[in-house]
Structure 1
Amino acid sequence: MPYVESAQRTREAVAAARVVLMHEGVGRTTMRAVAGEAGIPLGTLQYVFPSKQGLLKAVIEDVVEEISGVLRGVSETETGLENAIRHGVRNFWSQLVDEHRDLQLVQYELVTHALRTPGLEDLPAWQYERYTQVVAHWCQEAARRAGERCAVPFERLARVLVAGIDGLILQHVVNPDPARSVEDLDSLTAMLISLAAVTPA
């Protein structure tokens, strides 16, 4: 087998684990299945990740980075806070939820697994703090560029936005209904805009 740098092998293992997790779920995912998906010997995978928990930790971090990256990129901060909220919610949903039910299901599984696993229990708090920080940043940036003031702290606005999206994602995972999701997203957006109560700075 040709030599592959450790960082690349790690990325390949995490990508393979995500594929297996989406097909099998956390409970049925095995190191052997991940090695098979990655096309590497089991011993090679165990050298990179000596335990399944270490591999799952890397997967959680990878998923958080992906979602945080999308959150950073979905907003339009040039036309004020209301538009940033409206476009951010809609674009996030279309990019990471609408056709990605398995990804969202795996994310929920990983959160509950981490909360119950010694050594991983702090990851979910870090995960949601990251999401909140990213959303708060683009809300604040949108308001600053437009010379606007938000009626509540940006961190609170971001927490409510993340919580609202999270609830709608869970409904989508258990009972997908695209038309209902569009209506519910519009309702969530209206509530967030009302909470922000934007005024000129």
Structure 2
Amino acid sequence: MPYVEAAVRRQQLVAAARGALTRDGVAGTSLRAVAAEAGVPLGTMQYVFPSKELLLRAVIEDVVDEIADVLKGTAELEKGLEHAIRQGLSSFWSQLVADRRNLQIMQYELTTYALRTPGQEHLARWQYERYAGIVAEWCEQAADNAGETCAVSFAQLGRIVVAGIDGLIIQHVCDPDDARSGEDLDATISMLIALAGVRAVGTG
């Protein structure tokens, strides 16, 4: 087998794991199954990821990084907080939710698996801390860039954004309806903007 750099091999295995998890679910995905998906010996798989838990964490990290890239790449942070919320969440939905139902199911299954596996509960907590932290970061950057303030802390805004979008995703996954989900997304964005109470620095 030709030599592959460790970082490249790791990413190949994570991509294979995402494919297997999306198709077979957490319970049906083993290190052996991922190795077969990636076309590598089981020993190579176990060298990079000695346990299923380490592999699942890497998958969660990869999904979180994908979300971060979408938000940072489309939120247009130079145009202020309101625009960033509206543009960022609309782009997130169109790129990672509307036509990627299996991705969302996999994410929820990973969260449930972590919560139900003794000693792995921290993975679920870390996952949602990262989601909220990413949103809080780009909201704060957008506000700072435009000289704006937010009526609530950015940490709280991030948590509530995640909570609101999470609920919409679950409903969409259970009963896909693009028109209804689009209307509900617009309403949720309006509520989040109202919560943020965006003002220019120095105004009342």
Query: In which range does the TM-score fall when normalised by the shorter chain?
Result: over 0.9
Q: Deviations over 1:106-141 (max 9, x none)?
A: 000001111122342112222222222221122122
Counterpart for residue 99 of structure 2: 99
Query: Residues 167-178 of structure 1: matches in 2 within 5 Å?
Result: 167-178=167-178
Counterparts of 2:70 and 2:154 in 1: how far apart (Å)? 19
TM-score (norm 1): 0.93
Q: Deviations over 1:141-161 (max 9, x none)?
A: 222222222111111111111
Counterpart for residue 149 of structure 2: 149
Matched length: 201
Counterparts of 1:133 and 1:30 in 2: how far apart (Å)? 30
Counterparts of 1:196 and 1:47 in 2: how far apart (Å)? 47
TM-score (norm 2): 0.91
2:122 equivalent to 1:122: yes
Q: Contact conserved, 1:22 with 1:103, CA < 8 A, in 2?
A: yes
Query: Residues 54-69 of structure 1: matches in 2 within 5 Å?
Result: 54-69=54-69
Give the aligned residue type for 2:67. Answer: I
The structural deviation recorded for 1:86 is 0.7
Question: For structure 1, which runs of at least 5 residues remain unmatched after alignment?
Answer: none
Counterparts of 2:39 and 2:173 in 1: how far apart (Å)? 30
Counterpart for residue 22 of structure 1: 22
Give the aligned residue type for 1:168. Answer: L
2:137 equivalent to 1:137: yes
Q: Deviations over 1:146-188 (max 9, x none)?
A: 2222111111111111110111111111111111110000110
Partner SS, residue 83 of structure 1: helix
Q: Contact conserved, 2:133 with 2:158, CA < 8 A, in 1?
A: yes
- Do the aligned partners of residues 159 and 33 (structure 1) sit closer, same or farther apart at CA in structure 2, a change above 3 Å counting? same
Q: Contact conserved, 2:71 with 2:89, CA < 8 A, in 1?
A: no
Q: Deviations over 1:77-114 (max 9, x none)?
A: 22222111111110111111111111111000001111
Give the aligned residue type for 2:135. Answer: V
Give the aligned residue type for 1:200. Answer: A
- Do the aligned partners of residues 200 and 57 (structure 1) sit closer, same or farther apart at CA in structure 2, a change above 3 Å counting? closer
Counterpart for residue 110 of structure 2: 110
Counterparts of 1:111 and 1:157 in 2: how far apart (Å)? 22
The structural deviation recorded for 1:69 is 2.2
